[in-house]
Amino acid sequence: MKYVIGVDLGTSAVKLLLVNQNGDVCNEVSKSYPLIIEKSGYSEQDPEEWVEKTTAGLAELLDVFDGDVNDIEGISFSGQMHGLVLVDQESQVVRNAILWNDTRTTAQCQEIYDVVGKQRLLEITKNPALEGFTLPKILWVKKHEPEFFERASMFMLPKDYLRYRITGNIHMEYSDAAGTLLLNVAKREWSKEILDLFDLSDSFCPPLVESHAFVGTVTKEISEKTGLTEATKVFAGGADNACGAIGSGILTEGKTLCSIGTSGVVLSYEEKNDLDFEGKVHYFNHSEENAYYTMGVTLAAGYSLSWFKDTFAKQEEFDQFLAGVDEVDPGSNGLLFTPYIVGERTPHADSTIRGSFIGIDASHERKHFARSVLEGITFSLNESIEVFRSSGKTIDSIISIGGGAKNETWLQMQADIFNAKVEKLTSEQGPGMGAAMLAAYGSGWYPSLKECAKVFIQTSKTYHPIKENVETYEKLFKIYQQVYTQTKELNEQLKEFRK
């Protein structure tokens, strides 16, 4: 039996999967690492932590592997997007990585609009200038830390730096490059126009490759530390959302993914590079060749639920906490929640807006609040689906993964609010499985990612929308959509009181 390893470099931990040719996960290891938060809005990590924890994880994975290590043919990566890693001419890290959830770059986003123009930026990069992207971070370092910027000869993204440390070779692939605001997404090349406007050289950007591209083998040092052979092939990998899409089988037109983690993502497969969503949703290169995906983001999806539980029932397990929500009718007896507790992304890119409970009544119990939180998160995700539908896309089948796929009531709620059938997978491994599939495809196990998906991915249960619930939620959704506009000014006034 042959094997591959998928490495998912997340924000809080690296997860490693050992997967065989049947798509079975034979073993998995997770290693956590800390965030560095110097002040409000800052979010950084030490790239050396990624290397150390991944190396330790690989060693642990192989320590319990009872097969022939020569049968582990390949390794590939999924990674947190947008993070800035600056390296000098010797490829040494210049400063800590600035992560995707760092929000210090509001002024730099405005600078990008002033220099490039909003419309021109959308034409080239297909995305608006948001604090999470990479170019604003580069400009922030250039302005506030010129001594570091002058030392920097190239930028990398998190998983690309990790892969460099494993192979000694530097590359970046299209799906992650699409989140930098430096890539011409349709032409699949670095934008000379944008680089020139900000006095950045071509050599500042790594060479671009396909996600399944073979980019080297494991170095002698990594081989000695982990037990992998030096012949183990390494493949480029993809952005976490692109890999999550691959690992969920989002590889044909009309396929849509709903992923609920800390943030929430609705992602839809696109064959075309010329659709116009006016920047309302993200538009990125897929990790499948010559394919794309559009994506809407709810900043605090699962985080809204964990915040609510930790605030009011910290000692309880989630199953215990959510017991009773199935007894509450759709609409939570007139209680409505908006999950803007850390701001919002889609369709309102607004860092000032905050969440609300609307319609609190003396009859409401904890189970009503819990259900309204689930409904509010799902309404927010539905806003992205409605953007897709308004552009002419048909969305009638959605694969649900993450925390939203772990509760039967929530899965049925998604089917009712989205008014589409919702599928739960037999084995859900998300981005790590997508990375493993890229390694399997790169190793030649299958002629395409689509063929690989037929073997690796199976549906365990399908939830169909219930007509009367759909009608109730359609009315409530219209009310939900009014809350943003009617609380925007109030939240702007409240901003000065936040610490």
Would you name the residues annotated as active-site residues?
240
CB 63 within 8 A of CB 43: no
Rounded to 5 degrees, φ, ψ at 338 are -110, 130
- Output the six-digit token pair for 67: 């097969």
Task: Give the Cα separation of 327 and 87 in Å (integer).
Answer: 55
Q: Peptide bond preceding 347: is omega within 30 degrees of 0, i.e. cis?
A: yes
DSSP 3-state of 260? strand
Provide the residue type at 461 as one letter: K
Task: Give the Cα separation of 86 and 146 in Å (integer).
Answer: 12
- Output the six-digit token pair for 380: 């927010």
**In sequence order, what are the residues at sequence separation of 6 or more whose Cβ sits closer than 8 angstroms to the Cβ of residue 17?**
5, 6, 8, 25, 27, 28, 429, 432, 433, 435, 436
- Output the six-digit token pair for 389: 């539908």
Task: Give the Cα separation of 484 and 130 in Å (integer).
Answer: 19
Distance separating the N- and C-terminal Cα atoms of the chain: 57
CB 473 within 8 A of CB 330: yes
